[in-house]
Structure 1
């Protein structure tokens, strides 16, 4: 598995299972993927959209798939390369949520660090997120 992360989070994402970590701040991730995998990868999970979606198509092998959490890549570009693009939608399901909870409890599914802040610190949370000083999730608590 190849992923992108900042240099400071590289070891963390390796612990989660990444084989290769590309520093998105200092490297062109699409060029690096193409250097690592001749012919492209089988699947890309695109959580960014925009230019990243088109770059995701570029690094995907013919017959591969780009799964997007947001906007889809240029359909014509993907079709010309024989790359399938799809959007991921998740619908809450009680059985699935219980199964995920069991995986977390058994230590089989690691969860990211969660930094909880009171709602009054929303501006601070936004600045932390914008500056890249967050590992895991920021949660604003409303009480």
Structure 2
């Protein structure tokens, strides 16, 4: 814990008085390894919700006093603080009635799952979808989006979380600790395989799951690319979608950043009207963030933990 000067918004920026900020795996990963672009001392926290406190030159999208949410730039100081700065282009208005803590459970995990299931894989009615890690943030959102699309959803998860994952919309839950995932998927699909995979585990898992795709199927890689070398060329012809939302800041243009706002606005509306459960598991004060990140790094947390300002 430390004191920093209250930041001043530059052109195109707003200052947000933080009300809540979600915890994500990228936070503990960056805490362990850092990134070259950081200015020290660094401040973690990507899933920011709060009230616009001041606006910089040229900002017309929002005004002082409006409650907003955004997915932050990992290179900049984030939301585990009292105040943070944001690019006005990426901001989404938080619907009336949606609690800040609930809204802060949405950005990183929700956007990642939304881009995977809706934008890239284009999951549709009667598709069969495999989601790994169905009780996690991204996995839980992916299960919900696939179910909303009318797909049959298979999910992997530890047995004690099976009922929770089913409550999100999974038709079957495979216990990755006790069952052979590939064999179980083949059994559940009559040997056919799946139309789409959302892999939240890592490169090895994604590589193994390529072999479960039907001809023309697609895989969204959240935590690392699969090895396409395991798939014969001009065979099942899989499509691979690497999800890297944060690169909208470092490599994207203004259109890419504005799309973060568009997608997040859609997701917050879905959360506000009950179509999507943001899966808020609990809240912590600022002093409890470090301990909660250590817990999150154990990969056993169900849903989302959110920091809430005093």
How high is the TM-score relative to the length of structure 1?
0.83
Aligned-partner Cα distance in 2 for 1:131–1:103: 26
* Equivalent runs, 1:60-71 vs 2, <5 Å: 60-71=213-224
Candidates 66, 69, 85, aligned match of 2:240: 85
Q: CA deviation at 1:120?
A: 4.1
Distance 1:131 1:61, change over 3 A: closer
Candidates 166, 174, 185, aligned match of 1:33: 185
Distance 1:113 1:124, change over 3 A: closer
Q: CA deviation at 1:48?
A: 1.4
Q: Give yes or no for contact 1:117–1:125 (8 Å, CA) kept in 2.
A: no
Distance 1:106 1:50, change over 3 A: same
Distance 1:87 1:125, change over 3 A: closer
The 3-state SS of whatever aligns with 2:208 is helix
The 3-state SS of whatever aligns with 1:93 is helix
How high is the TM-score relative to the length of structure 2?
0.41
Superposed structure 1 runs of 4+ greater than 4 Å apart: 140-143
Candidates 69, 90, 102, aligned match of 2:269: 102
Aligned-partner Cα distance in 1 for 2:299–2:264: 32
Which structure has greater helix proportion?
Answer: 1
The farther-off stretch of 71-80 and 35-44 is 71-80
Q: CA deviation at 1:100?
A: 1.4
Q: Report Cα offsets for 1:79-112 as digits up to 9, x if no partner.
A: 5342222212335532322221111110011111
Q: Give yes or no for contact 1:78–1:85 (8 Å, CA) kept in 2.
A: no
Aligned-partner Cα distance in 2 for 1:68–1:27: 22
Aligned-partner Cα distance in 1 for 2:269–2:295: 34
Q: CA deviation at 1:138?
A: 2.6
Q: Report Cα offsets for 1:2-29 as digits up to 9, x if no partner.
A: 0011222111111111001111221122
Aligned-partner Cα distance in 2 for 1:24–1:56: 13
Paired residues in the alignment total: 142
Q: Tell me the C-alpha RMSD between the 2 structures.
A: 2.3
- Give unpaired runs (5+ residues) of structure 2: 1-152, 249-258
* Equivalent runs, 1:1-143 vs 2, <5 Å: 1-37=153-189, 38-80=191-233, 81-90=236-245, 91=248, 93-121=260-288, 122-123=290-291, 125-127=293-295, 129-130=297-298, 132=300, 134-140=301-307
